[in-house]
Amino acid sequence: MRIFFYGACREVTGSNILVEVAGKKILLDCGIFQGSRMAEERNYSPFVFDAKSIDVVVVCHAHLDHTGRLPKLVKDGFRGKIYATAPTAQLTELVLDDSEKLMREESQRDNHPPLYGPAEIETTMELFTTIPYDEGVEISPGIKITLKNAGHILGSSVLILETEGKTLVYTSDLGNAPSELLSPPERIEKADFVISETTYGGRVHEDITKRHAKLNSIINSTISENGVLMIPTFAIERTQELLHDIEHFCTIANCTIPTFYLDSPLAEKVTRVFQKYPEYLNPRLNLAHDNDIFGLSRLRITSTVDASKQIDDAPNPKIIIAGSGMMNGGRILYHLQNYIGDANSTLLIVSYQSGGTLGRRLIDGEKVIKIFGKKYNVAANVVAIGSYSAHADAPQLLRWLSTISGVKKIFLVHGEGDQALAFGESVKEKMGVDVIIPQQGEMYEL
């Protein structure tokens, strides 16, 4: 068995791992690179491998940094099977369609061809074969895969690959527990080798039980200041967690709440997918008693650009939930233009912010920012709630890994250098296991 690391190496983007075993080439995730100025060039660069030679792709969840180059793979000749859970397949189609529209606009503006088009997305979706959790599938003679609940986003999976008497486990992204919407990541009994994410490998999240109180305080402050609360979010999971929490606030506040808007057509569609797959949600949710756990009946959804623009004409106070989560595009930028200079308004960050993104610069305290080439002074309050993260923190990752017996080697990916290094030290101290932090393009023979 040989493993090639082609993405998310000492960074949190572009997940892409190639496993060669038993005469087959199996790709684990095929994500787009995001955040840095070099991202576009990296995405347009040819794959290091021949796309036609790939036999199988396993997609562990639908986030763009794990799925965004699938249509490029197809464009370059891939025609094998893509395995994923049913929610992952459906969410991937929504994510790719949304991304393609944005890339097409960028390509027209910057005068270069798009990375791929609708035809490649259509072909990509035709290659999907959906499988449920816990059902082993022989993808080739002597090669079996099993998907386990990762607790990260709806339908997210931990991959178990068994072949030639070896077991390889790939976390993709592991969820932050407890989650109100999802069950915690499923434990794995044994493995020879593990590829683990380390997004928060050197950090401990805020106490998740205090999340409601902190969000409620921020909403109440917005009301008292007659301001605007802007919440940039990812369309998948983070938005649904927020909607669930705001519905909780609205219930206990007897609806004495400012008008709140969901200004993300993608997030609206994703929320409908959540409603379609209740079996993938936390069983503790009493869906039989309340099937509007996201408060859609109270929510103002702005599907069109004109409806989005009208939000700014509405009186304060108000809450605007809009994409994108790292503020590197999307409708949130238009609202930032109007309110980032207002000292009575608040920007609430609930998502991971990659280095180089506008979101990271704002968290780091930048006081003058550029939006669409124009400078704006930052006067609004910039606050963050870390417990909304969909990623396990260092203690959770370590506890999860420590329950796997027989591990000989752990590869650490999907974490910036400092996070991966810090977590690697913890793993060696706690588990006494050989730890490797691969660099881009490295190969290891197991």
CATH topology agreement for domains 2-203+390-445 and 208-388: no
Query: Does residue 100 contact residue 124 with C-beta atoms inside 8 Å?
Result: no
Least confident stretch, 29-43, 88-102, 246-260: 246-260
- For residue 52, give the 3-state DSSP assignment: helix
pLDDT score, position 42 = 93
Residue tagged 């928060």 (tokens): 200
Write the single-letter amino acid at 53.
S
What span, in angstroms and rounded, lies between the C-alpha atoms of 297 and 293? 10
pLDDT at 256 over 60: no
Q: Does domain 208-388 have CATH number 3.40.50.10890?
A: yes
CB-facing half-sphere around the CA of 25: CA atoms within 13 A: 14
Instruction: Give residues with Cβ within 8 angstroms of 11, minimum separation 6.
Output: 354, 415, 416
350-393, pLDDT tens digit by residue? Answer: 988 877 889 999 999 999 999 999 999 999 999 999 888 899 99
pLDDT score, position 56 = 98
Whether a cis peptide bond, with omega within 30° of 0, leads into 324 is: yes
Task: Dig out the tokens for 414 from the structure.
Answer: 């999907």
Domain extents in the chain: 2-203+390-445, 208-388
Task: Dig out the tokens for 402 from the structure.
Answer: 């420590």
CB-facing half-sphere around the CA of 179: CA atoms within 13 A: 30
Long-range contacts of 99-102 (CB under 8 A, 24+ apart): 99/32, 99/64, 99/68, 100/71, 102/329
Task: Dig out the tokens for 108 from the structure.
Answer: 């027209």
pLDDT score, position 39 = 81
Total-model pTM? 0.91
Q: Match domain 2-203+390-445 to its CATH number in 3.30.450.90, 3.60.15.10, 3.30.2320.20, 3.30.540.10.
A: 3.60.15.10
Bridge-partner residues for 393, per DSSP? 200
136-163, pLDDT tens digit by residue? Answer: 999 999 999 999 999 999 999 999 999 9
Task: Dig out the tokens for 32 from the structure.
Answer: 């787009």
CB-facing half-sphere around the CA of 351: CA atoms within 13 A: 31
Closest residue by Cα to residue 173 from 182, 165, 164: 182
pLDDT score, position 338 = 95
What span, in angstroms and rounded, lies between the C-alpha atoms of 413 and 172? 9
pLDDT score, position 254 = 56
Query: pLDDT above 70 covers what percent of the chain?
Result: 97
DSSP state of 173: S
Higher-confidence residue of 286 and 364: namely 364
pLDDT at 257 over 80: no
What span, in angstroms and rounded, lies between the C-alpha atoms of 421 and 435? 10
What span, in angstroms and rounded, lies between the C-alpha atoms of 82 and 59? 7
174: pLDDT confidence band, cut at 50, 70 and 90? very high
Burial class (CB in 10 A: 0-12, 13-18, 19+), 248: middle
pLDDT score, position 248 = 75
